[in-house]
């Protein structure tokens, strides 16, 4: 068992080491000095002081590291001390590895520190007052309610997806509103090419008989050169709840070469009509042609 090694370890750890029979080793810091040429840094030195507090701390330290009983460690330490005194009485030095040597001078035990001995004490912990500790613990335990800011180079995919969804919703809503407004306000699409009315005077077509003559409204054959009876009719080709929509319809009809006008229906409605000149017997055919031409199923003659 290397008692000298444990003496050195205990000394460096506790800055003192009481050895029964040898004295109390102390690790002392010497201040910086100036030798006339340069400033010498502070240094640590080990000295022996007589007496000291008698304790079993070193024996406990040895017992713990060697896994032996305290009594056995104390006996071994006492044997080491007796042998060290004998060696010093014979003029020998008793070394403590890497720290220095015990010597006897003028019948007193002294300790000579090794010239290469260097010691760096452990850092001194910062002492905080209770208020500082409470603030620090509060900061560590409290988590902010808002999310931590993300790095500038990171992509927040949830925000990207949310923006895309909002754009789709807004786009769909805008398209729906646009379709609804145009569907309700725009006039029905009509054929640009008029469909000729059957047997109408306006088209100059008459129903010929078997002999090549012409018939009047009653079906009687007209004499050559005779003109059948013609009447003027206001044919209603649209029904709209507001005047604005009726006027829009008329503008579209005029763009396609048709002639139409507005007629009040009641206090809240308006008719769109066109004027037709035909035989009375041809009004049914005219209505069918106008329904096909203007896409209005309720074509009728205005009173």
**Within a domain: 185:** no
**Within a domain: 164:** no
To the nearest whole percent, how much of the chain has pLDDT over 70?
74
DSSP 108: E
Which of 52, 78, 113 is a domain's end point? 113
Contact 21, 11 (CB under 8 A): no
Contact 58, 19 (CB under 8 A): yes
Residue 165 CB-density burial (10 A; 0-12 exposed, 13-18 middle, 19+ buried): exposed
**Span 23-32, average pLDDT:** 85
pLDDT > 50? residue 119: yes
**Within a domain: 127:** no
CA distances, 187 to each of 199, 247, 273, 276, 300 (Å): 29, 10, 14, 22, 19
190-203 as b/e, with b when 16 or more CB fall inside 10 Å?
beeebeebebbbee
Q: Specify the length of the chain in residues.
A: 303
**Within a domain: 136:** no
pLDDT > 70? residue 199: no
**Which position has the higher pLDDT, 91 or 121?**
91
Confidence of residue 154 (pLDDT cuts 50, 70, 90): low
**Within a domain: 199:** no
Confidence of residue 202 (pLDDT cuts 50, 70, 90): very low
**Within a domain: 48:** yes
**Within a domain: 292:** yes
Confidence of residue 196 (pLDDT cuts 50, 70, 90): very low
Which of 56, 83, 113 is a domain's end point? 113
**Within a domain: 177:** no
Total domain count for the chain?
2
Q: Which helix (H) or strand (E) holds 131?
A: helix 130-141
CATH number of the domain encompassing residue 286: 3.30.70.1070
Q: Which domain holds residue 221?
A: 214-301
Predicted local distance difference test score (pLDDT) of residue 207: 41
For the whole model, what pTM was predicted?
A: 0.40
Predicted local distance difference test score (pLDDT) of residue 197: 40
Which of 113, 134, 159 is a domain's end point? 113
Average confidence score pLDDT of the chain:
78
**Span 271-290, average pLDDT:** 90
């Amino acid at each position: 068992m290397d008692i000298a090694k444990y003496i050195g370890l205990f000394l460096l750890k506790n800055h003192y080491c009481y050895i029964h029979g040898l004295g109390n080793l102390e690790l002392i810091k010497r201040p910086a000095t100036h030798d006339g040429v340069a400033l010498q840094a502070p240094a640590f030195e080990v000295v022996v002081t007589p007496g000291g507090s008698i304790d079993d701390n070193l024996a406990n330290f040895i017992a713990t590291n060697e896994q032996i009983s305290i009594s056995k460690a104390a006996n071994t330490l006492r044997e080491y001390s007796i042998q060290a005194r004998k060696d010093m009485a014979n003029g020998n030095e008793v070394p403590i590895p890497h720290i220095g040597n015990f010597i006897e001078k003028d019948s007193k035990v002294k300790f000579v520190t090794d010239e290469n001995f260097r010691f760096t004490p452990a850092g001194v912990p910062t002492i905080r007052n209770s208020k500082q500790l409470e603030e620090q613990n509060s900061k560590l335990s409290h988590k902010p309610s808002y999310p931590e800011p993300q790095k500038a180079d990171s992509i927040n995919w949830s925000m990207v997806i949310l923006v895309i969804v909002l754009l789709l919703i807004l786009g769909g809503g805008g398209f729906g509103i646009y379709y609804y407004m145009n569907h309700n306000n725009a006039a029905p699409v009509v054929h640009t090419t008029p469909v000729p009315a059957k047997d109408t005077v306006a088209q100059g077509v008459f129903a010929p008989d078997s002999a090549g003559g012409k018939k009047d409204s009653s079906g009687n054959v007209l004499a050559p050169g005779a003109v059948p009876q013609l009447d003027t009719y206001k044919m209603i080709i649209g029904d709209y709840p507001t005047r604005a929509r009726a006027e829009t319809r008329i503008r579209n009809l005029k763009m396609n070469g048709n002639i139409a006008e507005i007629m009040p229906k009641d206090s809240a409605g308006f008719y769109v009509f066109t004027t037709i000149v035909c035989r009375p017997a041809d009004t049914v055919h005219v209505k069918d042609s106008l329904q096909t031409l203007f896409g209005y199923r309720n074509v009728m003659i205005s009173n």
